[in-house]
Structure 1
Amino acid sequence: MTILWWHWLSFGLILISAELFIPSFTIIWFGLGACFVGLFVYFSPGSSFSVQLFTWTAASSVLTVLWFRLLKPKMVDKTTAGMSQEAILGEVGMVVKSNATPLEKGRVRFTLPVLGADEWDYTSADLFQPGDYVRVSGIDGHVLKVEKT
């Protein structure tokens, strides 16, 4: 049986489709390699199966290495989603409920909601009165640590 160009193209599309069900982001490169071999065989139909297999292995390997070594490291997630510490540090808010002692919790309100809420409990070594502005210096669970601005 002779392997035709459309066999490789079909095999490549099956592998690319399999990526939808097995999200490893590796199978897609072997599928693209098979599609490349399909194009190669289309333009040089006399190539032997061993040459086709070597071309598929080489193309798949090159694409996989390019992805994992060059492209993927540049796609680092730079958002602070899911990292409350980084998202809230340095935010300035207004005290709406004072803390009578350094161990007591107060309440601070932000102009724009921070991590889904515009009011948060806070603790501080300093005592604040309603209307004072404070800056977030840390977070401990659901309680902010604040300091004077």
Structure 2
Amino acid sequence: MDVSIVWWLLVTAGIALVIAEVFIGAFIVMWFGLGAVVAGLLTFFVPGLNAGIQLLLTALLGAVLLYFFRDRCIAGENASQESLHTFSRTTGEIHKAETGAMTVFANGTFWQIGNPEDIPEEKRKPGSTITVAEFRNNKAYVSNSD
């Protein structure tokens, strides 16, 4: 005896997946929901499909729809890419980290100093103000003129 999923159950599950996409926001689940709706409608027109074939159709249709339409439906202008060199030349205050390493407080956060050897000896004590030339790879690089 062949087991079959009722067509309206597949359509209902597909609609539930499409509605769930609103709350998930990944823009992935919706395609499998649409695959379930199409498989359910196909079952309505071709009754007697095996449950395995119905589930396989749902998964394959969802995967194909995801592959071909996801990137086309997401607007490329949703977010602008931010430059890696967001912060420019600024001043900061020297601090000692718990590990003993020198850090600088600049632009609202603490940065590890990438070139501590370029800091003059008189400015190496905590509380001294130094000029940060650039931020690179999560480190602050001080100006050689300090």
Q: TM-score, normalised by structure 2?
A: 0.49
More strand by share: 1
- The normalised TM-score by structure 1 is 0.48
